[in-house]
C-alpha cells in the first residue's frame, strides 16, 4: 500500500511521518492534530479478502464523512479481533485503560463507553482491531428517546436473499400507507434493517408499542413467510422480524461498519429501488464502498443530514385507544 494514498478527499488533515515504511511494526500518524500510534499495519485481518489492518484504517478514513454523523453522541460497543476475523474475539464496552485521554466517553449504568465523535477516535479504534462497531438507538444526552424506529429482518438462509428483499418491500408498503418514510440498510451479515426517523420525543416504550404492532401485523398478514418467534428452532425457514432488538441499552451495527465475514462485507445503506432490483449483502464490501460512495453518495444522509423527524402522535393515539 502506498502511504501517500491515505485520505478521504474531504480536506481532512492526516499526515504520515517522513520516510515511514508500511513494513515497520509501529509508527505514528497525525490525524486532525492528534497523534495516533499504528501497530502491526500489515497484519491480515480478513484473510480471504486479503485486507490488512492498515487497509481497514484507510477504509475508516475514507468513509468517515458518512459514518461519523450517525456514530456521533451514541454509546459504542465494539467487537475486537486482535488476530483477524478467524481469531479470538471479544466485546468491548468499557474504554480500556491504555486509551488516549482525548477520546470522548460517557458513563451509563456503570460502564464508561467510548463515544466516537471524530476521526482520530475512529482511526484509534481501527488500530485496536475493533472490526465491528455497534451503537445505541439514542444519543447519550437523551437516553430514553430513540432517534428512529428500526426493524431488523433476519433470514434463516442467506443463499436466498430474495426472500428478505420481498418482505422488506411488503413492509415498505405498510409504512407508506401509514405515511412514514423509511431507509433500508444491510446488516453487513445476513440481515436487512429498516430505519424510520422520528421526532426525538417518544420513549423506547412508545416506540416498542408501534414496532410490536407493525411486526405482528406483518407476521399475521404473511404467516407462511414471516415469524416473530424468538426461538430459532421454532422458526423453520421463515424470516424473523425482530422488533425486540430496538430497545434501551441494545445496539445494531453502525452504518458502514465492516463485519467479521470472509467477504469483508459492510453494513451499507441501500435505496428502495435497489431492493426492488435485487442485491446480496456480499455486494457491499470494504473494497467496493469507496467507489459506491463516490457514485451514489451517502444514502444514509436521509437519516443523518436531512433528519426527516416524523410524528408518531396519531399512530400512538390509535394504538393506545385499541389497548384501552
Closest CA to 45 of 257, 189, 260: 260
Is residue 92 assigned to a domain?
Answer: no
Is residue 32 assigned to a domain?
Answer: no
- pLDDT, mean over the chain: 91
pLDDT of 247-304, one tens digit each? Answer: 999 999 999 999 999 999 999 999 999 999 999 999 999 999 999 999 999 999 999 9
In whole angstroms, give the CA distance from residue 208 to residue 152: 13
Q: 14 pLDDT band (50/70/90 cuts)?
A: low
**What's the structural domain count of the chain?**
1
CATH at 204: 3.30.70.3300
Residue 5 has pLDDT above 90, yes or no: no
pLDDT of 217-256, one tens digit each? Answer: 999 999 989 999 888 888 888 899 999 999 999 999 999 9
Residues 6 or more apart from 79 whose CB is under 8 A from it?
89, 90, 91, 92, 130, 131, 132, 134, 260
Cell for 215? 411486526
Q: How many CB atoms lie within 10 A of CB 51?
A: 21
Q: Are 67 and 256 in contact (CB under 8 A)?
A: yes
Q: 20 pLDDT band (50/70/90 cuts)?
A: very low
In whole angstroms, give the CA distance from residue 210 to residue 277: 29
Instruction: Indicate the Cα dihedral angle 136, 142, 147, 149, nearest 10°.
Output: 70
Residue 19 has pLDDT above 80, yes or no: no
- Which pLDDT value is given to residue 100? 97
Cell for 111? 460502564
CA distances to 81, 98, 149, 308 from 300, rounded to whole Å, are 27, 33, 15, 11
Residue 186 has pLDDT above 90, yes or no: yes
Residue 169's domain comprises: 148-323
Planar angle of CA 189, 192, 196, nearest 5 degrees:
140
Is residue 116 assigned to a domain?
Answer: no
Is residue 58 assigned to a domain?
Answer: no
Q: Are 136 and 145 in contact (CB under 8 A)?
A: no
Residue 310 has pLDDT above 50, yes or no: yes
Is residue 85 assigned to a domain?
Answer: no
- Which pLDDT value is given to residue 17? 52
Residue 15 has pLDDT above 80, yes or no: no
Residues in the chain: 324
Closest CA to 104 of 78, 128, 122: 122
In whole angstroms, give the CA distance from residue 215 to residue 177: 15
3-state class (DSSP) for residue 68: helix
pLDDT of 54-93, one tens digit each? Answer: 999 999 999 999 999 999 999 999 999 999 999 999 999 9
In whole angstroms, give the CA distance from residue 59 to residue 57: 5
Is residue 174 assigned to a domain?
Answer: yes
Is residue 90 assigned to a domain?
Answer: no
Is residue 29 assigned to a domain?
Answer: no
Amino acid at each position: 500500500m502506498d502511504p501517500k494514498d491515505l485520505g478521504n478527499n474531504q480536506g481532512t488533515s492526516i499526515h504520515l511521518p517522513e520516510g515511514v515504511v508500511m513494513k515497520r511494526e509501529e509508527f505514528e500518524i497525525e490525524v486532525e492534530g492528534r497523534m495516533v500510534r499504528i501497530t502491526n499495519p500489515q497484519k491480515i485481518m480478513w484473510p480471504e479478502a486479503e485486507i490488512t489492518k492498515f487497509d481497514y484504517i484507510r477504509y475508516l478514513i475514507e468513509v468517515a464523512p458518512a459514518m461519523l454523523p450517525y456514530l456521533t453522541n451514541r454509546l459504542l460497543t465494539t467487537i475486537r479481533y486482535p488476530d483477524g476475523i478467524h481469531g479470538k474475539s471479544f466485546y468491548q464496552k468499557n474504554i480500556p485503560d491504555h486509551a488516549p485521554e482525548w477520546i470522548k466517553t460517557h458513563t451509563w449504568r456503570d460502564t464508561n463507553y467510548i463515544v466516537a465523535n471524530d476521526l482520530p477516535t475512529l482511526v484509534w479504534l481501527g488500530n485496536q482491531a475493533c472490526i465491528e462497531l455497534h451503537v445505541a438507538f439514542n444519543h447519550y444526552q437523551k437516553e430514553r428517546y430513540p432517534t428512529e424506529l428500526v426493524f431488523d429482518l433476519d433470514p434463516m438462509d442467506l443463499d436466498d436473499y430474495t426472500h428478505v428483499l420481498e418482505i422488506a418491500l411488503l413492509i415498505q408498503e405498510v409504512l407508506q400507507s401509514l405515511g412514514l418514510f423509511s431507509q433500508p440498510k444491510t446488516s453487513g451479515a445476513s440481515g436487512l434493517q429498516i430505519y424510520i426517523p422520528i421526532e426525538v420525543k417518544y420513549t423506547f416504550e412508545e416506540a416498542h408499542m408501534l414496532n410490536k404492532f407493525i411486526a405482528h401485523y406483518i407476521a399475521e398478514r404473511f404467516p407462511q413467510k414471516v415469524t416473530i418467534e424468538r426461538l430459532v428452532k421454532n422458526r423453520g425457514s421463515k424470516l424473523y422480524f425482530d422488533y425486540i432488538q430496538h430497545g434501551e441499552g441494545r445496539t445494531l451495527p453502525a452504518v458502514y461498519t465492516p463485519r467479521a465475514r470472509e467477504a469483508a462485507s459492510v453494513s451499507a445503506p441501500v435505496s428502495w429501488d435497489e431492493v426492488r432490483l435485487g442485491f446480496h449483502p456480499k455486494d457491499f464490501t470494504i473494497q467496493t464502498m469507496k467507489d459506491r460512495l463516490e457514485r451514489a453518495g451517502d444514502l444514509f444522509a436521509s437519516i443523518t443530514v436531512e433528519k426527516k423527524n416524523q410524528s408518531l402522535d396519531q399512530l400512538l393515539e390509535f394504538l393506545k385507544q385499541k389497548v384501552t
